[in-house]
Amino acid sequence: MRSTISDLKLEAARWRDGPYGSNPGDLHGAFDVMGPTGTELRILSSGVDTEAAWEHVSVSTKHRTPNWKEMCWVCNLFWEPGECVVQYRPPASEYVNFHPNCLHWFRPLNDDMPMPPSILVGPK
């Protein structure tokens, strides 16, 4: 995860007060920002949670699930290009749907993210 938030558009959209309020530059916090497709995105970042040993960012919209372009845009705000982050489909016994239009990015702190060979997607 990046060391601080440096995107001025994202900083301007930061919640400063309330339970999700945070200070400029913090990796954790809440943001309501216009995304790359013209839809307002609500972003909640847990930042680096050393107790849980995960980095986490959620992305939602008011009326639909975020699309891939929006998810990648958010990913690039919080992580470096060389970092691997994932979205999970948990087993049914662990499924949580706290917000119907929300997707999540995750990255473990203490383990390398396993990745399948790129050829499974297609030739480079």
| 73 lies in some domain | yes
| 120 lies in some domain | no
For residue range 59-74, list pLDDT tens digits in order. Answer: 999 999 999 999 999 9
| 34 lies in some domain | yes
Question: Closest Cα to residue 43, out of 109, 85, 106, 104?
Answer: 104
CA 7 from centre of chain: 14
| 119 lies in some domain | no
Residue 86 vs residue 100, higher pLDDT: 86
| pLDDT score of 3 more than 80 | no
Q: Which residues are within 8 A (CB) of 24 and not within 5 positions of it... i.e. 6 or more apart?
A: 5, 11, 14
CB count within 10 Å of CB 74 equals: 24
User: Considering its fold, how many domains does the chain have in total?
Assistant: 1
Tell me which residue range forms the domain holding 94.
8-111
Average pLDDT in the 13-30 region?
A: 92
Average pLDDT in the 35-55 region?
A: 91
pLDDT at 98: 87
| 30 lies in some domain | yes
**What DSSP string describes 64-123?**
S---HHHHHHHHHHHS-TT---B-----GGG---SSTTEEEEEEESSSPPP---GGGT--
pLDDT at 50: 81
Residue 65 vs residue 50, higher pLDDT: 65
Average pLDDT in the 15-19 region?
A: 93
